Structure 1
Amino acid sequence: MITGNGPCGLRCSGRSWPAPFPALVAAAEATERPRMGTFVLNAGFFNPALLAREVATTDALTGGRLEPAELNILVQRVLVTDDRRAAAREIAALDVGLDEEQALDVPTLLIGTPRQMAEQLRERRERFGFSYITVLDPFLEAFAPVLEELAGS
């Protein structure tokens, strides 16, 4: 799948993209077994009742092949440290609208040792239902040991 993001978005692709649900129905018509899903859906752009209708209709028209929704979280920063509180104080000092406790609790920040960050992700999966995690490119190396901690869970 190829996606676009940022100010360029669809404008730079040279074409417009179809609405997701009719495109899934068309793809299901052309295939027999693959499961169908949107990868990313900006649910905030939809009226909740109309979105529910679109999902139910698409699931029916694809013969029940629409994948259940997954909740995604975009991790904005991975801070490897042995002192979570000190790192949280540094974040709070940046005046980004978070105090120390909020910096430790916000789902988009991972702070601590790899083991602590793995526990944060497990807790957030239970608490918020996140099943799909995206980490920004500059933090992938710092995140690698967290993946090792999460292996098998």
Structure 2
Amino acid sequence: MTTRPFRFGVVAGNAPGGESWTALARRAERLGYATLLVPDTLGTFAPFPSLAAAAAVTTTLRLGTYVLSAPNRTPGQVAWEANTLRTLSDGRFELGLGAGRPGAEADTSRLGLLHGTPSERVSRLAETIDAVEGVPILVAAAGPRALRLAARKADIVTLAMPVQASEDQLAAKLDELYELAADRFPQLEINANLAAVGEDLPPWLLRQIGGEPRGTGILTGSVEEMAETLRKRRDRLGVSYVSINADYMEAFAPVVERLTGT
């Protein structure tokens, strides 16, 4: 479905201190990961300053938000922050945006802001995209409004699907995006996130998925088996950009080495 080469990102949002955080960024770069991605929750580091710190100690690693919740900032504020980080990172910044994950209204409320209705949040997302210039835009989308916006405006699309979503469910959502994007679809880079790899899954994830290691958000098997699964997924679904929970950065590194650029 796509001839795009593979690239890989690490999703991280916490560390004991500055030295640990910058060491993680340097390690991700050495292991061959293309991007360091920071979520937007009040339980993790603030994305922009943490990415700026990572930019200062790396040279090739790209930096991204994964993803900013549009209700938490004005479009002008996002544009200001994004332009600054683009400059400080010498063009290595990628802006990930979304209308707000499930439960994100609690963070918005703590910030003293209004979360808004789904329609209002997607409108804010559209305004934010229009306010930003000069950086690649990743949009997290699942519902019809966000998918329509991603089809028109995004450079990269990640589908906001649950960890336990099957390949058929992911394919159905991508079919929707394909219809909406039409001639633009070949320009879109498709991202999928892995919450875990291997058999040793954390208790919170096992509870979420009902105790069985299933779904496109989990990858199991040997290095070659995991690599082959991702090759087949790219052939079928066009997923060429894969992000991984930082807890599994080291375990997944052999797959990154095997597939990056192929």
TM-score by length of 2: 0.36
Residue equivalent to 2:259? 150
Quickly say closer, same or farther: Cα 1:117–1:26, change in 2 above 3 A. same
Counterparts of 1:47 and 1:40, CA distance in 2: 8
Q: How does 1:85-100 map to 2 (within 5 A)?
A: 96=210
Q: 1:107 aligns with which of 216, 220, 224?
A: 216
Q: What is the percent sequence identity of the aligned residues?
A: 27
Query: 3-state DSSP class of the match of 1:46?
Result: helix
Alignment match, 1:10: 108
Match of 1:135 among 224, 244, 262: 244
Cross-structure match for 1:20: 125
Bigger fraction of residues in strand: 2
2:173 equivalent to 1:46:
no
Contact 1:76 1:136 in 2 (8 A): yes
Report the aligned-residue RMSD: 3.9
The alpha-carbon distance between structure 1 residues 47 and 35, as it changes in their structure 2 partners (threshold 3 A), is closer
Q: Which amino acid aligns with 1:41?
A: A
- Structure 1: runs of 5+ lacking an equivalent: 29-33, 60-66, 81-94
Matched positions, count:
119
Unpaired segments ≥5 residues, structure 2: 1-36, 42-102, 115-120, 155-185, 200-208
CA-CA distance at 1:135 after TM superposition:
0.9
Q: Distance in 1 between matches of 2:142 and 2:237?
A: 16
Please give the per-residue CA displacement for 1:32-83, whole angstroms capped at 9, x wherever unaligned. xx2552x2333326276xx25x854x69xxxxxxx94433222122117xxx
Larger deviation, residues 123-132 vs 9-18:
9-18
- Report the residue type matching 1:144 in the other structure: A
Shift of 1:143: 0.5
The whole-number CA distance in structure 2 between the counterparts of 1:41 and 1:134 is 13
The alpha-carbon deviation at position 120 of structure 1 amounts to: 0.9
> CA 1:145–1:2 in 2, change beyond 3 Å: closer, same or farther?
closer
Cα deviation for residue 15 of structure 1 reads: 5.2
Match of 1:119 among 228, 233, 256: 228
Q: Distance in 1 between matches of 2:38 and 2:111?
A: 11
Is the radius of gyration larger for structure 1 or structure 2?
A: 1
Deviation at 1:138, TM superposition (A): 1.5
Q: Give the aligned residue type for 1:23.
A: T
